[in-house]
């Protein structure tokens, strides 16, 4: 692992830092996001911010120039993400498009599909969601039951998806559905781009612990998807979806940015609350600092693998498991520092952070579920990183070359944003 940046990377850092000093919607490095009255207001603010950032070329820097990127490498992308964190820049609202849908289309889409969808992903002119999970298909994603039936000029989809983050704001979705109900489960799947404004798409918000409804239930009643919105070959959906899921683990600049920002804010909150005078809190603050730093180093290790042209492997599960537990400890510490103010909610007076710590604590309870549950990560680490024995299971034959041949455990995954 080489942590030294090149002169070109430092030039890139300087260029972005100068841009942020001029364009951030609040003071560089110290600002807090404005108080939004609801999620819709936050999303519309986010679209404007991402639009500005993309227009200046700071979104999707690794993407090809033809689709609005800069064709830079993973290390340059990391420099960009770290600078955004340092500046306390707002999170990107179009993250599902940028991190999941976009890379999948880049890998498996036709030229026409890439030209149609990719530029609007970066500018947030169009938002995306991920229609993978279903009530009986979460960790075992290949069990999806949504059916895609052949029809003139396309497909008709019927089924129920759940936990779909940002579905109520999305223009498009990546959707996994069963196009052949007679084939073995991994081989009967196809991968579609679905128009969220199409007739028959019903979005029902689901209330979360935070009091917001960021995710939703999505019912598909006879939704027509034209032929040119099939991504990859018919029946190759499991392989295409595997590409989407590989972007959820491994290097995770987004969670790194968030946790670096939260750590900085925590240190500020701790100083204001004189928490450094308490030796037990001081010790835990030092541990939180070390943990975020270790997360950064873990990321750099995976990054150096990418830089050498290697694919992220199953050890990405270590990173996911690590940050989800780190996150819970960090946000628990924040509440312990707030002390008697910890149970206060947003409208309360004398509430340090105006309820943002309480919200983050509640939100990150889900970190051990989304992007693959902790149990699934433990299984992957045990079986595929440590090589521990696994329960024998008959493999699914891969006669069609579509990514069957894997066992159920290897198919286990998790999504979530």
| Residue (27 or 202) nearer to ligand FAD, CB | 202
**Residue 115 known to be catalytic:** no
Binding mask 229-268 for ligand FAD (x = CB under 6 A): ----------------------------------------
**Closest distance of CB 249 from ligand FAD, Å:** 12
Closest separation between CB of residue 177 and ligand FAD, Å?
Answer: 12
**Shortest distance, position 136 Cβ to ligand FAD, whole Å:** 8
**Should residue 415 be labelled a site residue for ligand FAD when binding is judged by CB under 6 A?**
yes
Residue 360 C-beta: closest distance to ligand FAD, Å? 13
Task: Give the residue, chosen from 132, 169, 300, 323, that forms a contact with ligand FAD under the rule CB under 6 A.
Answer: 132
Exactly one of 164, 246, 302, 327 binds ligand FAD (CB under 6 A); that residue is 164
Q: Does 101 participate in binding ligand FAD (rule CB under 6 A)?
A: no
414 binds ligand FAD (CB under 6 A): yes
Q: Tell whether residue 217 is a contact of ligand FAD (CB under 6 A).
A: no
In angstroms, give the least distance from the CB of 390 to ligand FAD.
11
Residues 13, 61: Cα–Cα separation, whole Å: 13
CA dihedral 135, 370, 103, 82 (to 10 degrees): 160
Binding ligand FAD (rule: CB under 6 A), the pick from 50, 77, 99, 130 is: 130
Q: Which stretch binds ligand FAD (CB under 6 A): 126-134, 197-205, 313-321, 347-355?
A: 126-134
Neighbours of 107 (CB within 10 A): 14
Least Å from the CB of residue 266 to ligand FAD: 22
Site membership for ligand FAD, residue 97 (CB under 6 A): no
Active-site residue, from 248, 265, 291, 410: 248
Among the listed residues 77, 123, 146, 165, the single contact to ligand FAD using CB under 6 A: 165
Place of tokens 């309870």: 365
Applying CB under 6 A, which of residues 215, 238, 361, 364 lies at the interface with ligand FAD? 215
**The binder of ligand FAD chosen from 173, 218, 260, 412 (CB under 6 A):** 412
102 contributes a contact to ligand FAD by CB under 6 A: no
> Given the rule CB under 6 A, which residues bind ligand FAD?
129-130, 132-133, 138-139, 163-165, 215, 366, 369-370, 373, 375-376, 379, 412, 414-417
């Amino acid at each position: 692992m080489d942590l030294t940046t090149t002169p070109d990377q430092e030039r890139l850092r300087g260029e972005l830092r100068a841009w942020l000093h001029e364009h951030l919607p609040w003071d560089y490095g110290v600002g807090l996001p404005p108080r939004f009255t609801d999620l819709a207001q936050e999303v519309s603010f986010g679209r404007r911010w991402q639009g500005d950032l993309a227009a200046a070329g700071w979104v999707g820097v690794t993407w090809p120039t033809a689709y609005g990127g800069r064709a830079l490498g993973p290390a340059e992308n990391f420099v960009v993400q770290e600078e955004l964190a340092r500046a306390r820049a707002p999170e990107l609202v179009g993250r599902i498009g940028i991190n999941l849908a976009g890379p999948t289309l880049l890998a498996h889409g036709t030229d026409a599909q890439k030209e149609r969808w990719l530029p609007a992903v970066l500018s947030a002119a169009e938002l995306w969601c991920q229609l993978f999970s279903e009530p009986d298909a979460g960790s075992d994603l290949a069990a999806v039951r949504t059916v895609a039936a052949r029809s003139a000029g396309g497909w008709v989809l019927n089924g129920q998806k759940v936990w779909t983050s940002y579905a109520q704001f999305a223009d498009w979705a990546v959707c996994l559905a069963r196009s052949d109900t007679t084939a073995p489960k991994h081989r009967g799947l196809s991968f579609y781009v679905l128009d969220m404004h199409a007739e028959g798409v019903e979005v029902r918000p689901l209330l979360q612990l935070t009091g917001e409804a960021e995710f939703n239930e999505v019912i598909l009643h006879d939704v027509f998807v034209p032929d040119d919105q099939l991504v990859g070959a018919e029946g190759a959906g499991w392989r295409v979806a595997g590409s989407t899921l590989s972007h959820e683990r491994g290097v995770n600049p987004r969670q790194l940015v968030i946790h670096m920002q939260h750590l900085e804010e925590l240190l500020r909150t701790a100083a204001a609350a004189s928490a450094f005078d308490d030796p037990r809190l001081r010790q835990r603050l030092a541990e939180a600092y070390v943990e975020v730093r270790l997360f950064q180093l873990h990321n750099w290790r995976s990054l150096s693998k990418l830089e050498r042209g290697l694919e992220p492997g199953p050890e990405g599960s270590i990173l996911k498991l690590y940050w989800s537990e780190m996150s819970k400890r960090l946000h628990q510490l924040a509440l312990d520092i707030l002390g008697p103010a910890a149970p206060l909610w947003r409208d309360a007076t004398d509430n340090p952070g105006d309820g943002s710590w309480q919200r983050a604590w509640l939100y990150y309870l889900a970190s051990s579920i989304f992007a693959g549950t902790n149990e699934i990560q433990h299984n992957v680490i045990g079986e595929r990183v440590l090589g521990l024995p696994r329960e024998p299971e008959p493999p699914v034959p891969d006669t069609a070359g579509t990514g069957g041949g894997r066992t159920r455990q290897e198919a286990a995954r998790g999504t979530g944003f």
